[in-house]
Amino acid sequence: MTSLVLDKHVSEKFPKNEAFGHNGFITISNQIFNFLKGPILKLRLYIPNMALDSFQEVDQWILSLSRDGVRELVLINKNRRYQLPCYFFRCLELRMLELKSCIIKPPLDFQEFLYLENLLLKNIAFGANLHGAIINLPQLKTLKLDACTNVYNFKIKSTKLFRLVVLTCPDATLLELLHSKCLSVVGIVFLKPIQGVERVNLASLLSNMLCLADLFIDGYFLQQAFEARELRIRCRLFTYILSYLLPYLVW
């Protein structure tokens, strides 16, 4: 058994049964992890709001996954932000990663996820210990950031990035990513003026994005107004951006 789903539908069953205790979901999930034999290559884990004193059990699950070579991991946390343990960054076989309400502070010597193709992050805080180091994600094709903080600490190198969606990340720095030659879908929405955020000249930017098919932005990302005749490629701009962006999000 290489795939395990402990999602919202599972967690909702335990509060109705007092026999499992206050944190029944954690108790039963821990027993499942201890019972299973062999590697778990795909895990979808939903941690309900249980006023946890610690994430000790979750740390142990991550440790087990790091040893087994997990390839797909979805971790949806409804509690306070969960700081990923250092051994999470030993999950070097990851192809798909989705995290919600976590803190990412990689070890100083961490450099790359060589096989990661899809990265989806919501309500993530990036630690300052990155110190401007660049993380290499050579196979990354999709990057989605939603309501993340300290994004300027998260500097990555990706030459195959195909889809980039950034929503309400007040300190995102994106210019290096936008120079990826493979970009086809780009959505950048701040929703309100942000002081000190990098802005771009749209016409100049688009002249370097030869594969672009869909572009969704709000005016807070632009340096100055532009005219349609300045654009070298065809793109579609929607006033009500979020209504189109929602299909690209999985939350």
User: Which pLDDT score is estimated for 223?
Assistant: 52
- In this predicted structure, the answer to whether residue 116 has a pLDDT above a threshold of 90 is yes
Phi-psi category of residue 132: left, alpha or beta, with phi > 0 → left and psi -120 to 50 → alpha = left
Residue 159 sits at φ, ψ, to 5 deg, of: -95, -10
Distant-in-sequence, close-in-space partners of 164: CB < 8 Å, separation ≥ 6: 143, 144, 174, 177, 178, 180, 183, 185, 186, 187, 188
Average pLDDT, the chain: 80
99/65 Cα distance (integer angstroms): 15
Structure token digits, residue 128? 């300052």
User: Which pLDDT score is estimated for 144?
Assistant: 95
Average pLDDT estimate for 65-93: 95
Q: Which amino acid is present at 133? A: A
- In this predicted structure, the answer to whether residue 230 has a pLDDT above a threshold of 80 is no
Confidence band (pLDDT; 50, 70, 90) for 66? very high
Q: Where are the alpha helices (DSSP H) in 160-224?
A: 175-178, 202-206
- Tell me the pLDDT tens digit for each residue of 12-52: 776 655 555 557 788 888 888 888 888 999 999 999 887 67
Confidence band (pLDDT; 50, 70, 90) for 218? confident
Classify residue 217 by burial, with Cβ atoms within 10 Å: 0-12, 13-18, 19+: buried
CB 215 within 8 A of CB 178: no
User: Which pLDDT score is estimated for 16?
Assistant: 55
Structure token digits, residue 84? 């990923």
5/51 Cα distance (integer angstroms): 22
CB 162 within 8 A of CB 138: no
20/32 Cα distance (integer angstroms): 14
Confidence band (pLDDT; 50, 70, 90) for 195? low
Buried b (16+ CB within 10 A) or exposed e, 68-98: bebbbbbbbbeeeebebbeebbbbebbbbbb
